[in-house]
Amino acid sequence: MSFRTKLLLVVLLTIFASVSVVAYAVTYYTRSSFEAMDAQRTEALVAQFKKEFVQSGAELSHQVKNISDAGVTDRMAIDLSHANADASLYARDAFGAAQEHGLNYVEMVNSDGILISSVQNPSRVGQRVDWVTSVKNWNDTDAFLKKEELPDGVALSLTVVRTNDTVADKSLYIIGGQRVDQNFLASLVLPAGMRALIYTNLDQGFVSRSLLGEKIDSDQAERFAPLVEQLQKQPQPLVRTIEWSNDPVDAETFHAIPLTGRNNELLGIFFVGSARRELVQLTREILKSAGAVAAAALLVGLIVSFWISARITRPVEKLAEGAREVAIGRWDTRIEVRGSDEVGQLAIAFNDMTRTLASQKERLLQTERVAAWRELARRLAHELRHPLFPMQITIENLQKARRLDAKQFLEVFNESTATLKAELANLNTIVSRFSDFSKMPAPKFVRVNVNEVLRNAVRLFEPQFNAVGKPTITQEPFLTEPLPEIDADPDLLHRAFQNLVLNAMDAMPAGGMLTLRTAEHDGNVRIEVADTGKGLTPEECSRLFTPYYTTKQMGTGLGLAIIQSVVSDHHGSISVTSEEGRGTTFRIDLPQRQAGPRVKPREPAPESKKDTPSTLAAASD
């Protein structure tokens, strides 16, 4: 992934993450405050409902007390206290009292608990109403909720009982009630988005028409069934959200408050509903704004990161290009410096580095060249001294021989000329060796199977590996098959491999193991020739490839120089690893393809015509 893409991703992710966090936090706090506000409003509404309840109860108590305190009621109590009193005379009194005091329900019960008069259910007159007589101090009792039996069903009422005690021990009970229904809710002041409902729990299970309130149809009412059923099981306040449609905007949260009678039986449920619309819309607005902010921020981030990446990556790309140029050998590469920031500093440092590298390389080259010439000169002097010294002696002898007689002089002369000729021939050999090396032929590339060339080169030495009376050299080939063919000159490769094997043999005078390896490596073909011979010191390793460097009595020191020249002409590389006393490994990497023309592959030369180790040794001598 490029730096530009990474930077872009980081910026985008950061923006996205921060906008998400802010949006989440705002939504969270908005929701919390909304819920707190909602709870407050609900609480206020419930308090208002309770107050209303208490007020209605107080009003009702007052009215019922008025009925019980009225003179007509006193007379009724006195009349009814007589043993032979005719209760039916008072059967309509409750109607008058109800009308006069504006009450929905009024009933009158004598001291024996017999119903004398009833507004809500006249047919029950004459029946016993035991629950009234079971309480002694009705006058101190507040209003309570009661299930009212009507001829056509049941109703919920707020009820107060008061007694007329004009006749001692013969109390007349006055039961007054006000219907609790939708009208009761009308008095509540509802804040916007809130509504109040009442469920009268007078039947078994859930009955949808018992849910009273504004704008509630039977379909909607049905949704309250689980709530009501739960409260019927356990009359405790609870909160539920009802989703009216798939859109969360239509959800409504209901707080249910159970309304119980004198014996704690559930008689009704007060519901306070609060619409979620405002919250959901607000949340959507916040998310929409967050989305817009995020989009804008992302756009700005995109532009900024493009700008930053252009400011950083372009110079970095230039630096990378410069480094690549240096890698392919253009040491004088320079980068245009702009600005004095870190990237500018980097460019300056790069330019300094290439300048230093170029001058160091030049110095190194010069040092190497001088060292090579010194080695060459030393070797040349050494080689030339051998024939020159006898020649000088011979000439001096010849000069001295002038004083001898003619016969003796002729003898010395013949001897001297023979010596001079021999030494001149020696000189000639030395010169031709130099000229041979300088005239290494240019490679003629054909498609070559390296394994085959290596096998052929080693095969020539096999008789010597197992020669009788000589320590044995075992051969261990690890040749990868199939190995890709490469563009190479088989003759030159053959010669190079032979020199490597010869060196390995020389390094193992007491026998050992010769390991041959070929493999494909990084798109190149790698050849390794390893021996278990005497090895090399690091100092020796560094001098190996210098022409005429040898440690052998009869060596020319040209073997490795020739190998290096062949490898270099094939655009490959050669390296050596060695451990003194344990062995040496030469490693050659050759590219599979060579630029330029390839010649037609030749028929492989018959084995007998190839160089034998002795002829090769002679050739390189």
Give me the least distance between CB of 510 and ligand ATP, in Å please.
13
Give me the least distance between CB of 589 and Mg ion, in Å please.
21
Give the count of alpha carbons within 13 A of 420, CB side only: 13
CA separation for the pair 239, 226 (Å, rounded): 12
532 near Mg ion, rule: CB under 5 A: no
Are 102 and 63 a contacting pair, CB within 8 Å? Answer: yes
Torsion over CA: 539, 542, 548, 552 (sign): positive
Give which of ligand ATP, Mg ion, none residue 594 binds (C-beta under 5 to 8 Å, depending on kind): none
Q: What is the DSSP letter of 125?
A: T
547 near Mg ion, rule: CB under 5 A: no
Residue 183: CB partners within 8 Å, gap ≥ 6? none
Site string for Mg ion, 474-513 (x = CB under 5 A): -----------------------------x----------
Give me the least distance between CB of 547 and ligand ATP, in Å please.
8
Give me the least distance between CB of 614 and ligand ATP, in Å please.
12
68 near Mg ion, rule: CB under 5 A: no
Give which of ligand ATP, Mg ion, none residue 113 binds (C-beta under 5 to 8 Å, depending on kind): none
Stretch near ligand ATP under the rule CB under 6 A, chosen from 78-86, 97-105, 232-240, 503-511: 503-511
CB-closest chain residue to ligand ATP: 559
Residue with Cβ nearer ligand ATP (160 or 536): 536
CA separation for the pair 108, 172 (Å, rounded): 7
Give me the least distance between CB of 380 and Mg ion, in Å please.
19
544 near ligand ATP, rule: CB under 6 A: yes
Residue with Cβ nearer ligand ATP (318 or 433): 433
Q: Hey, which residues between 579 and 608 contact ligand ATP (CB under 6 A)? A: 584
CB-closest chain residue to Mg ion: 559
CA separation for the pair 112, 129 (Å, rounded): 9
* C-alpha angle 400-406-407 in degrees, rounded to nearest 5: 105
Give me the least distance between CB of 558 and ligand ATP, in Å please.
5
Which of 549, 574, 588, 590 contacts ligand ATP by CB under 6 A?
A: 549
CA dihedral 66, 71, 73, 74 (to 10 degrees): 120
**If we measure between CA atoms, which residue out of 110, 107, 111 comes closest to residue 123?**
107
CA separation for the pair 561, 553 (Å, rounded): 18
Give the phi and the psi of residue 574 in degrees, each rounded to 5: -130, 140
Give me the least distance between CB of 560 and ligand ATP, in Å please.
3
- Amino acid at the residue 357: L
Are 123 and 140 a contacting pair, CB within 8 Å? Answer: no
Binding residues for ligand ATP, how many (CB under 6 A)? 22
531 near ligand ATP, rule: CB under 6 A: yes
Give the residue carrying structure tokens 């006069």: 100
CA separation for the pair 342, 274 (Å, rounded): 62
Binding site for Mg ion (CB under 5 A): 503, 559
Give residues in contact with ligand ATP (CB under 6 A): 499, 503-504, 507, 531, 533-534, 536, 544, 549-552, 555-561, 584, 620
